[in-house]
Amino acid sequence: MSLVERGKGPWPANNDLPNVQAWVLERLGGSPEDREMRSVSRILLDFISGLDRGQRIVNDWKANESALDTLALWCDRFKNGEPLQYILEESNFYGLTLKMDARALIPRPETEELIRHLLQRQEGVDPKRIVDIGTGSGCMALAWKSQRPQDEVTGVDVSEAALSLARENAKQLGFEDVHWEVLDVLESSPFKMTSMAKRAWDVVMSNPPYIPESERSSMENRVVEFEPANALFVSDQDPLCFYRAIATGCLEGAWLVSGGWLGLECHRDYCAAVAAWLSEQSEWESIHLLDDLQGAPRMVLAQRK
Residue 90 DSSP one-character state? -
Average pLDDT over residues 205-228: 96
Q: How far apart are CA 51 and CA 77, in angstroms?
A: 22
Q: How far apart are CA 230 and CA 104, in angstroms?
A: 9
Phi-psi sector, 100: left (phi>0), alpha (psi -120 to 50), beta: beta
Say if residue 58 is in the same domain as residue 99. no
- The last residue of one of the domains, among 25, 56, 80, is 80
Q: How far apart are CA 181 and CA 183, in angstroms?
A: 6
Say if residue 171 is in the same domain as residue 293. yes
Q: How far apart are CA 62 and CA 52, in angstroms?
A: 13
Let me know if residue 256 belongs to a domain. Answer: yes
Q: What pLDDT does residue 224 have? A: 94
What is the pLDDT confidence band of residue 4, given thresholds at 50, 70 and 90? Answer: low
Quote the distance between the C-alpha of residue 295 and its chain's center: 20
Q: What pLDDT does residue 196 have? A: 62
Say if residue 106 is in the same domain as residue 37. no
Say if residue 73 is in the same domain as residue 161. no
3-state secondary structure of 142: helix
CA proximity to 144, closest of 162, 160, 168, 121: 121
Say if residue 201 is in the same domain as residue 291. yes
- The last residue of one of the domains, among 80, 115, 135, is 80
What is the pLDDT confidence band of residue 30, given thresholds at 50, 70 and 90? Answer: confident
Let me know if residue 3 belongs to a domain. Answer: no
Say if residue 213 is in the same domain as residue 155. yes
> Within 13 Å and on the Cβ side, how many CA atoms surround 128?
23
Say if residue 112 is in the same domain as residue 236. yes
Let me know if residue 2 belongs to a domain. Answer: no
What residues make up the domain containing 48?
Answer: 17-80
Peptide bond into 127 cis (omega under 30): no
Residue 213 DSSP one-character state? G
Q: How many helices (H) and strands (E) does the chain have?
A: 11, 11
Say if residue 150 is in the same domain as residue 206. yes
pLDDT of 8 over the 80 cut: no
Say if residue 73 is in the same domain as residue 115. no
Q: What pLDDT does residue 1 have? A: 39
Say if residue 73 is in the same domain as residue 111. no
What is the pLDDT confidence band of residue 2, given thresholds at 50, 70 and 90? Answer: very low
Let me know if residue 70 belongs to a domain. Answer: yes
Q: What stretches of the chain show up as alpha helix (H) in DSSP? A: 17-27, 35-49, 53-58, 65-79, 84-88, 109-120, 139-147, 160-173, 221-224, 241-251, 271-279
Phi-psi sector, 246: left (phi>0), alpha (psi -120 to 50), beta: alpha
Q: How far apart are CA 30 and CA 172, in angstroms?
A: 35
Say if residue 36 is in the same domain as residue 107. no
Predicted confidence (pLDDT) per residue in 139-195, tens digit: 999 999 999 999 999 999 999 999 999 999 999 999 999 999 999 989 866 565 556
Task: Specify the pTM.
Answer: 0.92
Predicted confidence (pLDDT) per residue in 92-140, tens digit: 999 999 999 999 999 999 999 999 999 999 989 999 999 999 999 999 9
Let me know if residue 1 belongs to a domain. Answer: no
Give the chain's domain count. Answer: 2
Let me know if residue 288 belongs to a domain. Answer: yes
Tell me the pLDDT of the chain averaged across its residues: 93
Partner residues linked to 94 by β-bridges: none
- The last residue of one of the domains, among 33, 57, 80, is 80
Let me know if residue 260 belongs to a domain. Answer: yes
